[in-house]
């Protein structure tokens, strides 16, 4: 309302306060707050249910790669593995490829994930060229997993390894 629309007040009551909220404005605000609280009360648990554990970082686990005696220490060895891991609400069987080699004759080992960091294709070891090659987009990685050419944004993922009772494990 504008001051021209307001009725005249007696002088003892003062003047109209144009900033004062009306009853209608108060009720509209209260209904808006209650509606927002009600929507959030449903939306937040619903969102948590839909997203599940997908935003939590994946937990790593130690996977048995093989007997140290059976792994050739002087060359890169491809080893396929299978493991069971939780995937949101259920346990799933995951498989993958690890490349293992040793630079000190078999005392310590280096293990790298065989998944290309570009789009997830499996890289292949090319022993004649001493590099890893990705068949999907012709990416090339060094023996240490560094990108030599192609579109991958990062080097191959190096995995933590440990040896227990003559068995090599990698943290995947």
Dump pLDDT digits (tens) for 121-145: 999 999 999 999 999 889 999 999 9
Report pLDDT for 58: 73
- The answer to whether residue 29 is domain-embedded is yes
151 shares a domain with 100: yes
- 109 C-beta neighbours (distance < 10 Å), count: 21
Give tens-digit pLDDT for 84-125: 887 767 888 989 999 999 888 878 899 999 999 999 999 999
Average pLDDT value for residue range 146-160:
94
SS3 call for 120: coil
123 shares a domain with 39: no
- 113 C-beta neighbours (distance < 10 Å), count: 19
> Which one has a higher pLDDT value, 3 or 40?
40
83 shares a domain with 33: no
Report pLDDT for 106: 79
115 shares a domain with 167: yes
Q: How far is CA 159 from CA 103, 137, 146, in A?
A: 16, 24, 14
Domain that holds residue 16: 11-51
pTM over 0.75: no
Report pLDDT for 2: 62
């Amino acid at each position: 309302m504008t001051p021209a629309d307001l009725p005249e007040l007696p002088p003892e009551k003062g003047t109209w306060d144009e900033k004062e909220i009306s009853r209608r404005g108060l009720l509209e605000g209260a209904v808006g707050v209650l509606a927002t609280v009600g929507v959030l009360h449903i939306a937040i648990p619903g969102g948590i249910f839909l997203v599940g554990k997908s935003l939590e970082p994946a937990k790593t686990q130690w996977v048995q790669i093989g007997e140290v005696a059976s792994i050739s220490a002087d060359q890169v060895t491809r080893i396929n593995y299978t493991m069971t891991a939780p995937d949101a609400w259920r346990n799933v069987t995951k498989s993958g490829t690890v490349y293992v080699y040793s630079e000190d004759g078999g005392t310590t080992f280096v293990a790298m994930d065989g998944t290309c960091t570009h789009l997830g294709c499996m890289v292949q070891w090319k022993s004649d060229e001493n590099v890893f090659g990705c068949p999907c987009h012709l990416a090339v990685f060094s023996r240490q997993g560094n990108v030599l050419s192609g579109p991958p944004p990062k080097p191959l993922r190096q995995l933590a390894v440990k040896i227990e009772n003559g068995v090599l494990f990698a943290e995947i």
